């Protein structure tokens, strides 16, 4: 990570990380404090959290979600976590990631709730994908299932805000995908804060949205956070991973470019310089089965997945 001859800007000890975009090198003692300060600033800048919020952190066992949980606990927030066991067997992916999340919780005396998709609904996500057949890739199903369970758990548990670990590389890759295909609806909604603007919807925030993936990895490493390093086996080859590579090439040539791409987008939207219209406002109503808000008549996309007689489609 660091250059062995580089010295920490704050204390002069050997640097552990050099951040070209900030022209800043820091040692393993000064870095965590700096990182937490940056996250705190992001939280303030976007009005993400209030001191009395009941926070639910969605943790996957990876570096991003465990790091954001770590930072929030250290900043004094009341933050519990939710781990969703998707039942992905490849190389023990789900088991390994769950162990990481639970061990982290135990070490800090914090609460990590677990929802197992198979225990609750009868099938793991890969089993569900298999049953639904063609057109249902594990990744898109998994996204739908995670969003539904996270939102439902936060709402029913009385949490005032749901935190995810999305970092700047994630956000920039999604932004790139959405601009390359000009998706006004997605561009309108891409934001560090999503308000709970309907009954049954949890407010969602992304406190790491201005931190680079390698900065988060360095934080986890320096703080001794034991996380699952593998990508989900189903995500290998995903398009967003390719966009991340392209953005990193850009960053290599022009440090800060990746952050600029994302932050200027937010700024331009916020100032009204660019506007994306979400499309017609479609009225939300409660799903007949689970009660979560949906635009679909009758059952929401999640509940339709579990119906045995139809080819549940996403939407
Ligand atoms: P991903 O969709 O895998 O890129 O993950 C984005 C964010 O969703 C992570 O930073 C976590 O906050 C959350 N997340 C992902 N997987 C899980 C999971 N199995 N259980 C709970 N939260 C998760
Ligand atoms: Zn439903």
Is residue 167 one of the residues assigned to a domain? yes
Q: State how far the Cα of 302 lies from the Cα of 3, in Å rounded to an integer.
A: 48
The answer to whether residue 213 sits within a structural domain is yes
In a domain, 67, yes or no: yes
Residue 172 falls within a domain, yes or no? yes
Please indicate, yes or no, whether residues 179 and 260 belong to a single structural domain of this protein.
yes
Based on the structure, what is the number of domains in the chain?
2
Q: Domain check: are 269 and 307 in the same one? A: no
Whether residues 179 and 299 fall in one domain: no
- Between CA 308 and CA 32 the distance in angstroms is 50
Asked, for residue 210, whether it belongs to a domain, the answer is yes
Q: Is the pLDDT of residue 315 over 70?
A: no
16, 113, 118, 285 from 206: Cα distances, Å: 26, 20, 28, 26
What's the CATH code of the domain at 224?
A: 3.40.50.620
Q: Which of 112, 151, 165, 167 to mutate to test the pocket of ligand 1 (most atoms within 8 A of CB)?
A: 165
Neighbours of 166 (CB within 10 A): 21
- Ligand at minimal distance from the CA of 288 is 2
The domain containing residue 310 runs over which residues? Answer: 283-315
Q: Are residues 129 and 244 in the same domain?
A: yes
pLDDT for residue 252 is more than 60: yes
3 occurs within a structural domain: no
Portion of the chain with pLDDT greater than 90, in percent: 80
Ligand 2 centre and the CA of 296: distance in Å?
10
The pTM score is 0.94
Q: 249 with 304, same domain?
A: no
Q: Please compute the mean of the pLDDT values over residues 39-43 and round it to a whole number.
A: 98
Report the atom number in ligand 1 closest to the C-alpha of 84: 20
Radius of gyration of the chain (CA): 20
Q: What is the band of 1 on the pLDDT scale with cuts at 50, 70, 90?
A: low
Q: Are residues 221 and 294 in the same domain?
A: no
Q: What is the DSSP letter of 92?
A: G
Q: State whether 271 and 150 are in the same domain.
A: yes
Which two structure tokens, joined as six digits, stand for 87? 């039942």
Please report the pLDDT score of residue 314 as a whole number. 43
Distance 142 CA to ligand 1 centre (A): 10
Query: Looking at the structure, do residues 174 and 66 belong to the same domain, yes or no?
Result: yes
**Are 272 and 302 found together in one domain?**
no
Q: Which two tokens stand for residue 238?
A: 């995903």
Atom of ligand 1 nearest to the CA of 163: 12
pLDDT 10s digits, 138-163: 888 999 999 999 999 999 999 999 99
Coil vs helix vs strand at 105: helix
Q: How far is the CA of 292 from the centre of ligand 2 (A)?
A: 6
- 108 and 191 co-located in one domain: yes
Looking at the structure, tell me whether residues 76 and 195 fall in a common domain.
Answer: yes
Residues lying with their CB under 5 A of ligand 2, a single-atom ion: 287, 289-290, 300, 303
Percentage above 70 pLDDT, the chain:
95
**Residues with Cβ within 6 A of ligand 1?**
58-60, 64-65, 82-84, 86, 146, 164-166
Please indicate, yes or no, whether residues 204 and 310 belong to a single structural domain of this protein: no
pLDDT at residue 3 in the model: 54
Assigned domain for 116 exists: yes
CA of 273 to the centre of ligand 1 (A): 32
Q: Which of 57, 60, 152 to mutate to test the pocket of ligand 1 (most atoms within 8 A of CB)?
A: 60
Determine, yes or no, domain membership for 1. Answer: no
């Amino acid at each position: 990570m660091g250059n062995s001859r580089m010295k920490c800007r704050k204390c002069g000890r050997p640097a552990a990380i050099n951040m070209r975009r900030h022209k800043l090198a820091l040692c393993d003692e000064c870095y965590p404090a700096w990182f937490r300060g940056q996250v705190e600033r992001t939280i303030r800048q976007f009005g993400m959290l209030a001191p009395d919020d009941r926070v639910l952190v969605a943790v996957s066992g990876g570096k991003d979600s465990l790091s954001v949980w770590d930072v929030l606990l250290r900043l004094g927030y009341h933050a519990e976590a939710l781990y969703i066991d998707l039942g992905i067997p490849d190389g023990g992916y789900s088991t390994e990631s769950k162990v990481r999340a639970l061990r982290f919780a135990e070490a800090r005396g914090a609460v990590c709730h677990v929802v197992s998709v198979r225990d609750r609904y009868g099938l793991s996500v890969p089993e569900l994908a298999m049953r639904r057949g063609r057109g249902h890739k594990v990744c898109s199903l998994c996204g739908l299932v995670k969003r539904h369970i996270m939102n439902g758990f936060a709402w029913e548990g009385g949490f005032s805000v749901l935190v995810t670990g999305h970092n700047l590389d994630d956000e920039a890759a999604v932004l790139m995908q959405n601009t390359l295909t000009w998706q006004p609806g997605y561009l309108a909604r891409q934001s560090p804060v999503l308000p709970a603007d309907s009954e049954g919807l949890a407010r969602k925030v992304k406190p790491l949205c201005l931190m680079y993936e390698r900065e988060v990895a360095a934080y986890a490493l320096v703080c001794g956070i034991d996380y699952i390093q593998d990508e989900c086996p189903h995500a290998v080859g995903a398009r967003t991973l390719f966009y991340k590579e392209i953005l990193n090439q850009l960053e290599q040539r022009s440090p800060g470019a990746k952050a600029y791409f994302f932050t200027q987008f937010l700024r331009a939207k916020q100032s009204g310089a660019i506007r994306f219209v979400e499309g017609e406002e479609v009225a939300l109503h409660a799903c007949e089965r689970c009660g979560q808000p949906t635009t679909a008549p009758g059952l929401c996309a999640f509940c339709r997945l579990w119906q045995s007689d139809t080819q549940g489609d996403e939407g």
